[in-house]
């Protein structure tokens, strides 16, 4: 794979740290970039957790953006503003709104609803939570990045700037957390583009609705059997 490497000083880290941006010039992932950092002693850093382990407590990385190499000052100000040591004490009082509520819609309808009560509510679901993981990649025990997966052509993502990794994360979450069949979004891509906050179902992955046919299942079974056969041949060769 042809790569283009650009290395420069990193203003968000102590003096001597270098930031390297690697642009893929060929292959299926052409145009995508990978970001690495080099310590003053030449150690290559591949991820933010690895950078945090290397620096230890000498530098707070909570507002450091690994992709750009900069300190996000808005995030830093937000953290300072919510510091509990800077918040004045608030008098805690018991809530007086714990009684059943009667809803009167108009003069001709006055039905009482006793099930409208204050109390613990289900937390709102966050749309596009997978984008919080954008830029983070899986690596092995040697801190080597795992090769990205290629999605089948009939798996098309819906949503603003979702990467292949984001789509795979949403599919994995739907399979792990939900009990319903995973089919994708019911609305078409044009409808979702107009108002994704309303139309996207958080219980389904961010992909267009698709149907797995019997031919798809048979082709996948053939691939699995072929992989098992190759593995058996390799194991026999080492015996």
CATH number at residue 21: 3.30.890.10
Taking every pair of Cα atoms in the chain, the longest distance, rounded to a whole number of angstroms, is 87
Q: What integer pLDDT is reported at residue 100 of this predicted model? A: 64
Structural domain harbouring 54:
7-78
Is there a domain that residue 136 lies in?
A: yes
On whether residue 44 sits in a domain, the answer given is yes
Of the pLDDT bands very low, low, confident and very high (cuts 50, 70, 90), residue 224 is very high
93 falls within a domain: no
Residue finishing a domain among 78, 93, 114: 78
Is there a domain that residue 205 lies in?
A: no
Dihedral of CA 200/201/204/210: which sign? negative
Examine the pLDDT at 181 and tell me if it is beyond 80.
yes
Has residue 29 got a pLDDT over 80?
no
The answer to whether position 20 is within a domain reads: yes
**Model confidence over 93-143: pLDDT tens digits?**
555 555 566 666 665 544 444 555 556 666 666 666 666 666 677 777 777
Q: Is residue 218 part of a domain?
A: no
CB atoms within 10 A of CB 129: 13
- The pTM assigned to this predicted structure is 0.41
Domains contained in the chain, number: 2
Q: Is residue 159 part of a domain?
A: yes
Contact 215, 154 (CB under 8 A): no
Asked whether the beta carbons of 12 and 65 are under 8 A apart, the reply is yes
Whether 224 is covered by a domain: the verdict is no
């Amino acid at each position: 794979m042809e790569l283009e490497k650009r290395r420069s000083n990193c203003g968000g880290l102590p003096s001597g740290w270098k930031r390297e941006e690697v642009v893929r010039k060929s292959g299926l992932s052409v145009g995508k970039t990978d970001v690495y950092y080099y310590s003053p002693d030449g150690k290559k850093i591949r991820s933010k957790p690895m950078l945090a382990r290397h620096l230890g407590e000498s530098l707070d990385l909570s507002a450091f953006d690994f992709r750009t190499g900069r300190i996000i000052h808005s995030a830093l100000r937000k953290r300072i503003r919510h510091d509990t040591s800077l918040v004045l004490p608030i008098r805690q009082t018991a809530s007086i709104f714990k009684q059943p509520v009667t809803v009167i819609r108009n003069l001709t309808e006055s039905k009482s609803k006793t099930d409208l009560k204050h109390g613990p509510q289900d937390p709102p679901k966050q749309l596009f939570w997978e984008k919080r993981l954008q830029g983070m990649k899986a690596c092995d025990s040697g801190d080597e990045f795992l090769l990205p997966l290629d999605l089948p052509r009939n798996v098309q993502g819906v949503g603003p700037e979702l990467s292949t990794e984001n789509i795979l994360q949403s599919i994995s979450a739907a399979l792990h957390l939900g009990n319903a069949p995973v089919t994708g979004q019911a609305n078409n891509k044009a409808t979702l583009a107009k108002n994704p906050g309303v139309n996207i179902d958080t219980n389904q992955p961010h992909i267009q609705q698709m149907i797995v046919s019997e031919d798809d299942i048979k082709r996948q079974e053939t691939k699995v059997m072929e992989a098992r056969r190759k593995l058996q041949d390799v194991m026999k060769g080492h015996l």
